[in-house]
Amino acid sequence: MGKVSEEKIKQLRGKIVPFPTIQKQTLTPVNISPDSKDGLGVALSLATALAKEQGKLQNDYQVSVNNNPEAPGGHYGVETHVQKPEGVAYASAEHAFNHQKQLHPSADEYKLMVEVLQAKLEQHPRLTEAIAKRGGVDWLENCTNITNAQDQQWEGKGKESAFIQALSEAYTNVAEKSQQSTLQTQQEKSKQTDRPLINPLSQLEPISAAVAEHMKKDIAMAQIATQFIGKSAAPSNTPSSTRNYEQAWGERANTGNYSKDDIVMVSGSGPWRGVKTNQKSQKDTVKTSNKGYKGWVA
């Protein structure tokens, strides 16, 4: 029996599906510590203020946590700091974690570590981007945290290290929030910039041969407009282009809500076939609705 092609199998399943994207190869893991030989490994460590003092980092990685309360001068883990005024960011994650631990001695240290590391990644997004480029959580979980510090409860390799676990969780939280924020922004932008896929007036018949020529202009206006303003002044038993337009525009007619990106088509009843127009009322409707958005077509 001949081999069935991959394409044929997909067709038989009822639809054509794309091949899965090829994942980037996870890069070589590193030791995350102030003494790391890898720049990112140093930057992701807690004691970045110490690393900078030792010439292993050029940038500061200050961290703001819980409104940055005042911190007295003294030893914080492997770092020593002068008094920090209230409202000023901590010099490093090491500084923040150890001071917060002093303030809240009964707090869950692992959750506090995740909180501090998440704040650091959110406030220094280039670190999050660098982790993603190296392989994300898969890369982190193959890294080590060996610092030779007295407190070795956080040290180890990969998932055996409580620090690596906390850093992986913090990174995941930040990445998920970023994705949600990006999706929300795209959805909001889409709502603001969406145009009708079909011209709402394209299938509308003119109410008479006399208005057919004028209607061409209205159809052209509808092609570029995003919303419609118009109320017919004609009696219900009198044919009205404006009434038909309002119905054709549906939810986009007379919304009362307009953004700077909207282009609004305006239509009003003309003084014929016994129609009595309230021109002042129609002008006031347009005047009070114009809040400075992109344009009117009338």
Domain ranges for the chain: 23-191, 209-297
- φ, ψ for residue 84 (rounded to 5)? -110, 120
Q: What is the pLDDT of residue 281?
A: 45
Strands (E), the chain: 74-76, 79-81, 144-145, 156-157, 227-229, 263-266, 295-297
Q: What is the pLDDT of residue 280?
A: 47
Q: What is the pLDDT of residue 93?
A: 98
Q: What is the pLDDT of residue 148?
A: 74
Q: Given the DSSP bridges, would you call strands 263-266 and 295-297 parallel, antiparallel or unpaired?
A: parallel
- Give whole-number Cα distances, 200 to 18, 187, 225, 231, in Å: 34, 23, 10, 16
Whole-model pTM: value is 0.57
Q: What is the pLDDT of residue 32?
A: 97
The token pair at 123 is 């406030």
Q: What is the pLDDT of residue 160?
A: 93
- Total Cβ atoms within 10 A of residue 21: 6
Selection from 200, 278, 195, 271 nearest residue 240 by Cα: 271
Per-residue pLDDT of the chain (298 residues; tens, 9 = 90+): 444 455 544 554 444 444 444 455 568 999 999 999 999 999 999 999 999 999 999 999 999 999 999 999 999 999 999 999 999 999 999 999 999 999 999 999 999 999 999 999 999 999 999 999 999 999 999 999 998 766 688 999 999 999 999 999 999 999 988 877 766 766 666 665 555 457 889 888 888 777 888 888 999 998 888 899 998 888 877 788 889 999 999 999 999 888 888 889 998 766 555 555 554 444 444 444 444 445 555 5
Q: Is 63 helix (H, G, I), strand (E, B) or coil?
A: strand
What gap in Å lies between CA 104 and CA 88, rounded to an integer?
Answer: 19
- φ, ψ for residue 253 (rounded to 5)? -100, 130
Q: What is the pLDDT of residue 271?
A: 58
Q: Given the DSSP bridges, would you call strands 263-266 and 227-229 parallel, antiparallel or unpaired?
A: parallel
Q: What is the pLDDT of residue 298?
A: 53
